[in-house]
Chains A and B, each alone.
Chain A
Amino acid sequence: AQKITQTQPGMFVQEKEAVTLDCTYDTSDPSYGLFWYKQPSSGEMIFLIYQGSYDQQNATEGRYSLNFQKARKSANLVISASQLGDSAMYFCAMREFSNYGGSQGNLIFGKGTKLSVKP
């Protein structure tokens, strides 16, 4: 079963509007972290926001906020006031802190959502 699911292969949003990128996850580890990364066409991975499984409040970083619904196992990214420079691939990722498995706490990535901001 997929551990990270991003159901939106592509999204369009009008400049200056808000957009929500969906992410659901699956884990039995009580301690985990959820990350969102932005990947522009140049390829580098840019960290946007982090939410820990025990964090009481939803994470916010500037125009980025994470709508964390633990019971539903969802961690949607909300981008407010979209800008043209927000056009990129967005990846949701998870790290399980208790169960290192064979990869010592590697990040597990979703398939990504391609966001296009229209002027």
Chain B
Amino acid sequence: GAVVSQHPSWVICKSGTSVKIECRSLDFQATTMFWYRQFPKQSLMLMATSNEGSKATYEQGVEKDKFLINHASLTLSTLTVTSAHPEDSSFYICSARGTQRRTGELFFGEGSRLTVL
């Protein structure tokens, strides 16, 4: 089945630094990828929709300059948390939509747990 790989799984950084998280579709091309944020014991909240070759679409309330998204190829999207602060500590999950018509299923990465000190 389709696989989405996310890296790194865990990252700890100092306040003020930037962190890049990669999301790769391993065996299919993903023109659209989604980035979610999940706080402890809460649901997934969509942050932005990443489109290959064009600018990402951000959800209301998500700072574009804070969370930079680049979807440079059909198999890779990156989320960069710039000038990270402790309140950015969270679980970030990406997903990619496969090309299968039946379900429009999203395949999820393993998630990246960010801790900002």
* Interface set of A (CB-CB < 8 Å, partner B): 33, 35, 37, 42-45, 47, 50, 52, 91, 95, 97, 102-107, 109-112, 114
Contact = CB atoms under 8 A, between A and B. Distances in A.
Nearest to B1: A47
Contact of A105 (B57, B97, B107, B108): B97
Contact of A112 (B43, B104, B107, B111): B43
B93 interface: yes
Given A43-B111, A47-B107, 6 more contacts: A33-B104, A35-B105, A45-B95, A97-B104, A105-B104, A106-B34
A103 B111 contact: no
Given A43-B113, A44-B110, A109-B43, A103 B57 contact: yes
A100 to B, nearest CB: 10
A44 B32 contact: no
User: Which secondary structure characterizes the binding site on chain A?
Assistant: loop
A43 B46 contact: no
B59 interface: yes
A95 B102 CA distance: 12
Contacts of A91: 43-44
A50 B103 contact: yes
Given A44-B111, A91-B44, A111-B43, A50 B105 contact: yes
A47 B97 CA distance: 13
Given A103-B49, A103-B59, A109 B44 contact: yes
B110 A102 contact: no
B106 interface: yes
